[in-house]
Amino acid sequence: MVDNFTKTLMSNTLNNDLKEQLVANFQATEGRLNGETKSAVHQTRRAAMQNFETLGFPTIKHEEWKYSNVSNLVKQAFDFSVKTEFGENELATLSIPNLEGNVLYFINGIYNPELSNIVSPESQLQILNFGKAVKENPTLLETYFAQYANYQNEAFTALNTAFAHDGVVINVPAGKVVEQPIILRFITDARSINVASQPRNLVVVGKNAEVKIAEAFRTMGENGAFTNTVTEIVVEENANVQYYKVQNDTEKSYHIGTTQVCQKQNSHFYAVTVTINGGFVRNNLNIVLDGQNCEAFMYGLYFPNGKQHVDNHTLVDHAQPNSYSNELYKGILKDKSTGVFNGKIFVRDGASKTNAYQSCRNVVLSDEATMNTKPQLEIYNDDVKCSHGTTTGKLNDEALFYMRSRGIPKAEAQTLLMYAFCEDVISQIKIDSIKEYLEGLIAEKLAQ
Partner 1 sequence: MLTITDLQASVDDKAILKGINLEIKAGEVHAIMGPNGSGKSTLASVLAGREEYEVTGGSVDFDGEDLLEMSPEERAAVGIFLAFQYPVEIPGVTTINFLKTALNEIRKSRGEEPLDAAQFLKLMREKAKLVNIDDSLLKRSLNEGFSGGEKKRNEIFQMAMLEPKLAILDETDSGLDIDALRIVAEGVNKLRSPENAVIVVTHYQRLLDYIVPDYVHVLYKGRIVKSGPKELALELEEKGYDWIKAEVAATM
Burial class (CB in 10 A: 0-12, 13-18, 19+), 6: exposed
Pairing between β-strand 384-393 and β-strand 168-172 as defined by DSSP bridges: unpaired
Instruction: Report the residue number, 151 or 421, with the smaller CB distance to partner 1.
Output: 421
Instruction: Report the residue number, 88 or 398, with the smaller CB distance to partner 1.
Output: 398
Q: Do the Cβ atoms of 118 and 102 come closer than 8 Å? A: yes
Instruction: Report the residue number, 19 or 445, with the smaller CB distance to partner 1.
Output: 445
What secondary structure does DSSP assign to 286-319, as a single string? EEEE-STT-EEEEEEEE---TT-EEEEEEEEEE-
Q: How far is the CB of 301 from partner 1 (least distance, A)?
A: 13
Q: How far is the CB of 276 from partner 1 (least distance, A)?
A: 19
What is the C-alpha separation between 248 and 116, in angstroms, rounded?
20
Q: How far is the CB of 416 from partner 1 (least distance, A)?
A: 6
Exposure string over 352-389, b if 16+ CB within 10 A, otherwise e: eebbbbbbbbbbbeeeebbbbbebeeebebeebebebe
Q: How far is the CB of 362 from partner 1 (least distance, A)?
A: 16
Task: Please report how many Cα atoms fall inside a 13 Å half-sphere around the Cα of residue 266, on the Cβ side.
Answer: 8
Burial class (CB in 10 A: 0-12, 13-18, 19+), 435: middle
Instruction: Report the residue number, 255 or 445, with the smaller CB distance to partner 1.
Output: 445
Q: How far is the CB of 319 from partner 1 (least distance, A)?
A: 35
How many beta carbons lie within 10 A of that of residue 320, not counting itself?
21
Q: How far is the CB of 391 from partner 1 (least distance, A)?
A: 14
Q: How far is the CB of 408 from partner 1 (least distance, A)?
A: 5
Q: How far is the CB of 173 from partner 1 (least distance, A)?
A: 40
What secondary structure does DSSP assign to 195-244, as a single string? EEE--EEEEEE-TT-EEEEEEEEEEESSS-EEEEEEEEEEE-TT-EEEEE
Phi, psi of 106 (to 5 degrees): -125, 115
What secondary structure does DSSP assign to 332-364, as a single string? EE-TT-EEEEEEEEEE-TT-TTEEEEEEEEEEE
What is the C-alpha separation between 50 and 23, in angstroms, rounded?
10
Instruction: Report the residue number, 252 or 330, with the smaller CB distance to partner 1.
Output: 330
Exposure string over 324-345, b if 16+ CB within 10 A, otherwise e: bbbbbbbbbbbebbbbbbbbbb
Instruction: Report the residue number, 216 or 417, with the smaller CB distance to partner 1.
Output: 417
Pairing between β-strand 102-107 and β-strand 110-117 as defined by DSSP bridges: antiparallel
Q: How far is the CB of 64 from partner 1 (least distance, A)?
A: 33
What is the C-alpha separation between 429 and 272, in angstroms, rounded?
7
Residues that bind partner 1 (CB under 8 A): 396-399, 401-410, 412-413, 416-417, 419-424
Q: How many helices (H) and strands (E) does the chain have?
A: 10, 20
Which among 92, 133, 119 has a CA at the least distance from the CA of 182? 119
Instruction: Report the residue number, 38 or 406, with the smaller CB distance to partner 1.
Output: 406
Q: How far is the CB of 359 from partner 1 (least distance, A)?
A: 14
What is the C-alpha separation between 285 and 358, in angstroms, rounded?
14
Q: How far is the CB of 13 from partner 1 (least distance, A)?
A: 52
Q: How far is the CB of 406 from partner 1 (least distance, A)?
A: 4
Task: Please report how many Cα atoms fall inside a 13 Å half-sphere around the Cα of residue 411, on the Cβ side.
Answer: 5
